Amino acid sequence: MNVGHFPPPKRRGLIIHSILILVLAAIAATGFFNLTQAEVGPAFLVSLLTALLAFAPIPFLAYRTYSLWRADYHIDRDSLALSWGLRVEDIPLNDIEWIRPAEDLTHPLALPPLPIPGALIGVRRHPDLGTVEFLASDAKSLLLVATAKRIFAISPDDPVSLTQTFARATELGSLSPIEAKSVYPSFVISQAWEHSLVRFLWLSGLFINIGLFVWTSLIIPSTPRIALGLHYVEGVLESVPSSQLILLPVVSLVLFIGGWVAGLYFYRWEKERPLAFMVWGSGTLTSFLFLIAIMFVVTTPV
């Protein structure tokens, strides 16, 4: 019996997501670079908004890229496991009522919001089926997996083989029945939030970064130039436009978000949770060090 993995098609989605991330990263980098050259005024504001708007979707797209890269559908004699990033659905075969192609429906199945190839993720209502959750990458090869509670739309690279494997596994029967399991990304976040130390690290890091942006926004208009350079001119640090100070809170925020996401990745496993605490603690400490760095910059005479 061909029991195993039937992953979704990934290549096209990974390429599209990678291109989007690179384009947005280039726009954000250009915006941040222009900040270092612009004086306080309309040009500074335009560069700041451009950089922030271009950077904002990058973590979202990066998570979708990671989810697609790790996506898999695994079937054996006991269950069908659907894995998509932090989203995991383990369905006992006895709970599956039927599996059929989405193209057999009388009413077409509407795709979820933002149907980017490689990331058909979300929930839709269908007039005949009710709630349908998408964990798919390709709209052309959708299979519907029906359970008593919910219907899942998946897109294995070989839908015919998965359907045939399911039929044979059902005929053979289960070796050791399992319980249904549902894991959502929000569950990992809520589980971590229950720990007091986690709440302290998250909130302290967040408030420090918000404070950095507020503080620098007040300093920049009132201080024309700052000693941010490392070159001395006649024994005095070379000064630069104060608009360059915005780079410090931006870098701090990027590092904090990256550490927060990495910590969630490690927190999923009990044995690796100490690494999650180390990453989150390092992120908060790094933000505090950026706070001290800004303090030294603004107090250094130019």
Angle formed by the axes of helices 57-70 and 247-267, to 10°?
30
For the record, the structure tokens of 300 come out as 């250094």
CA distance linking residue 70 with residue 72, whole number of Å: 6
Q: Is 91 exposed, middle or buried (0-12, 13-18, 19+ CB in 10 A)?
A: buried
For the record, the structure tokens of 144 come out as 């519907």
Nearest to 23 by CA among 31, 34, 12: 31
What pLDDT score does 140 carry? 87
The three-point CA angle 63-50-27 to 5° equals 60
CA distance linking residue 78 with residue 75, whole number of Å: 8
Identify residue 256 by its one-letter amino acid code: F
pLDDT digit string, tens, across residues 262-299: 898 888 788 888 999 999 999 999 999 999 988 888 77
Residues 6 or more apart in contact with residue 201 via CB below 8 angstroms: 277, 280, 281, 283, 284
For the record, the structure tokens of 30 come out as 């250009």
What pLDDT score does 1 carry? 46
Global pTM? Answer: 0.77
What pLDDT score does 39 carry? 67
Q: Which residue ranges make up each domain of the chain?
A: 1-183, 184-302
Identify residue 54 by its one-letter amino acid code: A
What pLDDT score does 229 carry? 57
Which residues, given as ranges, of the chain have pLDDT below 70?
A: 1-3, 36, 38-41, 227-240, 301-302
